[in-house]
Structures are given as structure tokens and as C-alpha cells.
Amino acid sequence: MNLDELKWSNASFADEQISKETLVGLLGVNKHKVLKRIKTQLIIESIAWSAFLAVYYDFFDGHLRSGIWNGLLVVAICLLLIHNLLGYQVTNNPINGINILESLSNYLLKLRRYAYLSISARILAILILFGYFLSAMDVFEIRHYWSFAFLLLLVSTQAYLLWQIWSKRIKIINLKYKELVNNS
């Protein structure tokens, strides 16, 4: 039985409980092609960032920078990898409750937390990456300050746009949740 058959069937679910396994099977969770693309992206980005970590010390003069910047760069890359992994986990496991309303409520809470983590991790990682590459400069000229101001403007714009994207996603799920609560 697919989701449409479940939706339009005459069976009354008020007295019966649908198990989590049955619901996961009906929704095709963990087998969706979008999840496969997310997993592929996760693997490719993880390999790329790991390769970057393996070569940054030689290719980007890590030996010329302080240990603090080298450590912060590793932290930034780890933040990006953790961000990707948590994103896959949030997307991969939307059903987490004894019924649909509880699952949707839990998913909404996880999505809000992940949105804050996503935005914070990306911004912090970008700032650390730029800080790492600027740390080798001995003297700041006026053009460097302008570049830094442009970077702050760019990061602020990215934070705003990311928040708009996440708030739109959360709003859609919140509307569906309220719709389900009002119909039950």
C-alpha cells in the first residue's frame, strides 16, 4: 500500500496504531532518490575536505602560519563535515515518534536546531578559512581592509539568505503540522 492508498482508504485508524516500521515502509524513507543524492554529496564533500586537510600544510604554507590558525582550520573543516553528516541524519530519519503528529513535531524541532547549526557552522568555517589565508600577511594595507569589509558583507548576506531558506522550509513544515493538528 502506498501513501495515496493509505490516504484514501476507508480504514479507520482511530482504533489501530501503525507501527514505525510500517510507516517508514509506506513513505519509502531511506530509499528516496533525494537521499541518495544527499549521501553522494556527503561522500564527495567529505573526500574533498579530507583531501584538503591532507595537503593544506604543504600546498597552502601551513608551516608558515601559527599553530592556532592551523588548529582553527582543522576545526573549521571538521565543522563542515559534521554539518553535512548531521544534515544527512536529520533528512534520513524524519519519523521519530509514536504517531505522525509527534513525529512531525520532533522533526520540526530537529530541523530548527539543524538550521541554527547549519548557518553557524558555515559562517564560522568561512571566517576561519579567510582568516587562515590572511594570517600569512605581515602588513595590512588599505586594500586589505576593504577586502575584509567586503568579506563581512558577503558573510552577512550569506547568513541572511541561508536564514531565509531555512525559515521558508520550517514555515512549510510548521503549516503542515498546524493543519494536521487542526484536522485531528
Question: How does pLDDT run across 7-24, given as a tens digit for each residue?
Answer: 444 444 444 555 666 655
pTM over 0.95: no
Question: How does pLDDT run across 76-116, given as a tens digit for each residue?
Answer: 999 888 888 888 888 887 777 778 888 888 888 998 999 99
Three-class secondary structure assignment of the chain: CCHHHHHHCCCCCCCCCCCHHHHHHHHCCCCCHHHHHHHHHHHHHHHHHHHHHHHHHHHCCHHHCCHHHHHHHHHHHHHHHHHHHHHHHHHHCCCCCCCHHHHHHHHHHHHHHHHHHHHHHHHHHHHHHHHHHHCCCCCCCHHHHHHHHHHHHHHHHHHHHHHHHHHHHHHHHHHHHHHHHHHC
